[in-house]
Amino acid sequence: MKTFEIPEFYHSPLITQIKSYRKLQDPRKRDLSPTYIDFGPVGFYIARHFGFCYGVENAIEISFKAVNENPGKRIFLLSQMIHNPNVNKDLTDNGVQFLQDTNGKQLISFDELTPNDVVIIPAFGATLEVEELLKQKGIEVQKYNTTCPFVERVWKKSEQIGKENYTIIIHGKYTHEETRATFSRSAQSAPAIVVKDLTEAKKLSDFITGKKDANLFYEEFKDKYSANFDINKHLQQVGVINQTTMLATETQEIAEHFKQVMIAKYGEDNLKQHFADTRDTLCYATNENQDATYGLLKTDADLAIVVGGYNSSNTSHLVELLEQKFPTYFISSDKEIESNTLIHHFDYPNQKRLSTNDFIPKKEKVNIILTSGASCPDVVVEKVLNKLLSYFKGIKTKEEAFSFTNQ
């Protein structure tokens, strides 16, 4: 796989050492068990896969290239390049300005843009409408387009099944940048609709089976379907694609649900005419990080720390999995750990910040899970590890704790 040139300050010698060791021991990535680092009074279960993915490294490389190649020019990001506050701050510190926020709200009017300006397309991609607007302004949109190749693969799949007359069902958060971009492109080739989760998928299937009055559809799915969507016509043939950072198992559940609905309505012999197989739209990094999290669930840890941007979809799903078994704290950086007794963390479903006292149990030996989302720099994870280590006495040195990597 291609390697990227990203700023050295995102790298962590400690995390690199762990990842290099695991890659050497398990080059085919078959072992999903975490790496255990024993510091004596505290041990860490480090996820098998975490941190920057291909798409994020690609976006960072292109964004800093835009900065370096355009001294004196105004440089804009369409919206947050990735969902990580540290990386986005590094770009704004270098003079990059955001045109929109993460929900598409305009921060700087497009009217202010000139052909001499540089606009970076974020890793999530952009809607066709926005791309066309930028072109009309005389801005070259492809030069610094950081759209993740795996997102583009979803677009190609949606175009393919759309041309085969399938309606496109997108599993995603309809306000998310990636989902908006995917919806825009899907709607060019076929009717399209967004479902957030399995619950919404089941509501939609009630219209397919006729359990619900068709007239209720337009209110229940307001703003989530393409123009001229005909409930009586456009749900006879469907295919499921996804926002690449959603929970992979839920995308599979949603696809399987619609498959069974179509079998029940049209018969198994006619399935291919009514349901498109789209399993290959799942992102490899999302899959790997989530699979590695299932490996963490098999441990005897006392708590879990997940590091990432608070608006990061892929990070939120790691939290969702881990909190099934462990007290789990979603933090953006080591600064959220105020002391050995107080941690500030994020409640993603309710979108609010919480504070928890005595988060580290008073035990002779404490085991902590540590992982991060696909847009979190390794150096941020290392800082969290160092902060937690500072609360324990009599710990082993890092050389002693990491001695296994030299074996």
Catalytic positions, written as ranges = 178
User: Which amino acid is it at 47?
Assistant: A
Compute the distance between CA of residue 52 and CA of residue 58 in angstroms, rounded to an integer. Answer: 10
Give the whole-angstrom CA distance, residue 21 versus residue 158: 39
Contact predicate 318/291, CB 8 Å = no
Contacts of 88 (CB under 8 A, 6+ apart): 80, 81, 82, 98
What b/e sequence results for 102-121 when a residue is b if at least 16 CB atoms lie within 10 Å of its CB, and e otherwise? beeeeeeebeebeeebbbbb
Q: What does the DSSP assignment read for 175-207?
A: TSHHHHHHHHHHHHHS-EEEE-SHHHHHHHHHH
218/229 Cα distance (integer angstroms): 9
Sheet holding 97-98, edge to edge: 97-98, 75-77, 118-120
Give Cα 89 to chain centroid, integer Å.
Answer: 19
Phi, psi of 91, rounded to the nearest 5 degrees = -70, -45
Distance CA 68, CA 70 (A): 6
